[in-house]
Structure 1
Amino acid sequence: MRNQGLGSWPARRARMTPDRVALTYRGRDRTYRDLHARANRLARALARLGVRRGDRVAYLGANDPALVETFFATGALGAVFVPLNTRLAAPETRYIVEDAGAEIVLLGEGHDGAGLPGRHVSANGYEDLLAEGDPGAIDEPVSLDDLCLIMYTSGTTGRPKGAMLTHGNLVWNAFNLLVDVPLADDEVTLISAPMFHIAALAQTLIPSVLKGGRAILEPAFDVDTTFDLIEAERITVMFGVPAMFTFLTQSPRWARADLSSLRHLLCGGAPLPEPLIRTYQDRGLTLLQGYGLTETAPGALFLAAGHPADKAGSAGVPCFFSDVKLVAPDGSLAAPGQPGEVHVQGPNVTPGYWRRPEETEKVLSADGWLRSGDVGVADEDGYVRISDRINDMIISGGENIYPAEVESALYGHPAVAECAVIGVADHKWGEVGKALVVLRPGETVRPEDLIAHLYGRLARYKIPKHVEFVPELPRNAAGKLLKARLRTLYGGTAR
Structure 2
Amino acid sequence: MHPPTYLELIRRGALQHGPRTAIVFGERSLSFTEVDQLSSRLAQALHAAGAAPRTRVALLLNNGLHSVPLDFACVKAGINRVPLNARLSLAEHARMLADTGCTHLVFGPDLAERAAALREAAPGLACLGLGAALEGAPDLLARAATLPATAPDFEPSPDDVVLTLFTSGTTGTLKAAQHTQASYAAICRNVLLNLLNATPEDAMLHAASLIHASGVFVLPFWLRGGRTVILPGFEPGLFLRTLQAERITAINLVPTMLQMLFEHPELAATDVSALRYVIYGASPMPRSVIQRAMAAWGRHRFWQYYGQTEVPLCLAVLRPEDHVDELLGACGQPALEVEMRLVDEAGNEVPAGTPGEIAVRAPSAVAGYHDAPALNAETFVAGGWVRTRDVGVFDARGFLHLKDRTSDMIISGGYNVYPREVEDALMTHPAVRECAVIGLPHEKWVEVVTAVVVLRAGQAIDEAALIAHVAGRLASYKKPQRVIFAEEIPKTAVGKLNRRALRERHRG
TM-score by length of 2: 0.92
C-alpha displacement of 1:268: 0.8
Residue 287 of structure 1 pairs with residue 309 of structure 2: no
Q: Please say if residues 191 and 205 of structure 1, whose CA atoms lie closer than 8 Å, have aligned partners that are also in contact.
A: no
Q: Show the 5 A alignment for 1:432-451.
A: 432-451=448-467
Q: How is 1:154-303 mapped onto 2 (pairs within 5 angstroms)?
A: 154-180=168-194, 181-197=196-212, 199-202=213-216, 204-282=217-295, 283-285=297-299, 286-303=301-318
Aligned pair count reads 489
Which deviations, in whole Å up to 9, do the C-alpha atoms of 1:278-300 show, x marking residues without a partner? Answer: 22322224321011110002321
Alignment-derived partner of residue 133 in structure 1: 147
Q: Among the aligned pairs, what percent are the same residue?
A: 35
CA distance in 2, matches of 1:229, 1:43: 31
For 2:346 and 2:102, the matched residues in 1 are separated by 42
Judge which range, 66-75 or 356-365, deviates more. 66-75
CA contact (8 A) 2:37 2:150 kept: no
Counterpart residue identity of residue 115, structure 1: A
Tell me which moved more, 372-381 or 5-14: 5-14
- How far apart are 1:388 and its partner, in Å? 0.8
- The structural deviation recorded for 1:164 is 0.6
Match of 1:119 in 2: 126
String of CA shifts for 1:277-334, please: whole Å, max 9, x gaps: 3223222243210111100023211123333734333211111111111123464433
Residues 1:462 and 2:475 are matched in the alignment:
no
Tell which deviates more after alignment, 160-169 or 110-119.
Answer: 110-119
Tell me if the contact between 1:272 and 1:289 (Cα under 8 Å) persists in the aligned partners. Answer: no
| Aligned-CA RMSD value | 1.9
- Name structure 1 gaps, 5 residues minimum: none
Distance in 1 separating the partners of 2:109 and 2:393:
44
- Looking at structure 2, the residues matched to 272 and 485 of structure 1 have their Cα atoms a distance apart, in angstroms, of 23
**In 2, Cα distance between equivalents of 1:166 and 1:377:** 31
Tell me the CA shift for residue 152 of structure 1: 0.3
For structure 2, list consecutive stretches of 5 or more residues without a partner in the other structure.
Answer: 133-138
Tell me the distance in 1 between the aligned counterparts of 2:429 and 2:67: 37
Partner Cα distance (2:171, 2:294) in 1: 41
1:295-334 to structure 2, matched below 5 A, reads 295-307=310-322, 309=324, 310-329=326-345, 331-334=347-350
Residue in structure 1 matched with residue 406 of structure 2 by the alignment? 390
Q: Name 2:498's counterpart in structure 1.
A: 482
Q: Give SS of 1:65's match.
A: coil
Q: How far is the alpha carbon of 1:131 from its aligned partner?
A: 2.2
| One-letter amino acid of the structure 2 residue matched with residue 170 of structure 1 | Y
The 8 Å contact of residues 4 and 185 in structure 2, kept in 1 or not, is answered as no
Structure-1 separation of matches of 2:276 and 2:376: 38
How many angstroms does 1:259 deviate by? 1.2
**C-alpha distance in structure 2 between counterparts of 1:438 and 1:311, whole Å:** 41
Cα distance, 1:133 vs structure 2: 3.1
Q: Structure 1: which 4+ aligned runs deviate by more than 6 Å?
A: none
User: In the TM superposition, what whole-angstrom CA distance separates every residue of 1:52-83 from its partner, at most 9, and x where no partner exists?
Assistant: 12111111111113221221111112111111
Aligned to 2:44: 44
Whether contact under 8 Å (1:422, 1:435) holds in the other structure is: yes
